[in-house]
């Protein structure tokens, strides 16, 4: 079964404590992307990757890092989380970029 998985699904943490949200896909997709969704602002792209070792900034990359060491995984790293990073995060993957993009179930993050 084609899947995009994210872990954890829910996380409460404190300011400054490094965390990683994992994203994994079993569809051999080249394209992967991270978004955050906030009320009134919609989905905003954080980072995206067109293939292994190829990443680029989206609209809101500040405070985030990513890596793409293998095709199936695209972790999102918050080195020093702050309360303004409280959000709903989605990972997405695709073969042709946006057109065939599949989203993971989302990760709800609360930074205190």
Partner 1 sequence: RKEVEQDPGPFNVPEGATVAFNCTYSNSASQSFFWYRQDCRKEPKLLMSVYSSGNEDGRFTAQLNRASQYISLLIRDSKLSDSATYLCVVTRGQTSYDKVIFGPGTSLSVIP
Residue ranges that bind partner 1, judged by CB under 8 A: 31, 33, 35, 40-45, 48, 50, 56, 58-59, 88, 90, 96-101, 103-106
Q: Choose between 14 and 41: whose C-beta lies nearer to partner 1.
A: 41
Enter the tokens of residue 6.
């994210």
- Let me know: does 72 contact 22? Beta carbons within 8 Å: no
What are the start-end ranges of the E strands in 3-53?
A: 4-7, 10-13, 19-25, 31-38, 42-51
Q: Choose between 81 and 89: whose C-beta lies nearer to partner 1.
A: 89
Least distance from C-beta 75 to partner 1, angstroms?
18
Q: Choose between 44 and 71: whose C-beta lies nearer to partner 1.
A: 44
**Three-class secondary structure of residue 21 per DSSP:** strand
Q: Choose between 60 and 78: whose C-beta lies nearer to partner 1.
A: 60
Q: In what order do the strands lie in the sheet with 65-66?
A: 4-7, 19-25, 76-78, 65-66
Least distance from C-beta 35 to partner 1, angstroms?
8
Least distance from C-beta 106 to partner 1, angstroms?
6
Least distance from C-beta 18 to partner 1, angstroms?
26
- Let me know: does 76 contact 91? Beta carbons within 8 Å: yes
């Amino acid at each position: 079964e084609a899947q995009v998985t994210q872990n954890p699904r829910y996380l409460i943490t404190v300011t400054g404590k490094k965390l990683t949200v994992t994203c994994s896909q079993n569809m051999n997709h080249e394209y992967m992307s991270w978004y955050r969704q906030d009320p009134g602002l919609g989905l905003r792209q954080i980072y995206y990757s067109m293939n292994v070792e190829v990443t680029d900034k989206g609209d809101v990359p500040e405070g985030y890092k990513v890596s793409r060491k293998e095709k199936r995984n695209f972790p999102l790293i918050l080195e020093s989380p702050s309360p303004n990073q409280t959000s709903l995060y989605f990972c997405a993957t695709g073969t042709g970029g946006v057109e065939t993009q599949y989203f993971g179930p989302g990760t709800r993050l609360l930074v205190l």
